[in-house]
Amino acid sequence: MVLRLTAALTKTPANVSDQLFVDLRDRFSEPQLVELTTAIAWENYRARFNRTFEILAEGFSEGAFCPLPEA
């Protein structure tokens, strides 16, 4: 559900369907939803800003990964 919101907010134009909003309101409180949306919007802003000025990754996470626990 959060990934659906993220995808909806990063498209142009951004459009959150009524059903997605209802689903989010069932799961999150209003303050939580505001914080979540703010975080998504801020990261989207940074990504678009960086593309404008061709700011590239600094390589801090190059080759890094999160190992999965053994089954």
For residue range 29-63, what is the model confidence (pLDDT) as tens digits? 999 999 999 999 999 999 999 999 999 888 777 77
Coil, helix or strand for 42? Answer: helix
pLDDT tens digit sequence for 10-27: 999 999 999 999 999 999
Full-model pTM: 0.74
| Closest C-alpha among 2, 6, 21, 12 to residue 51 | 12
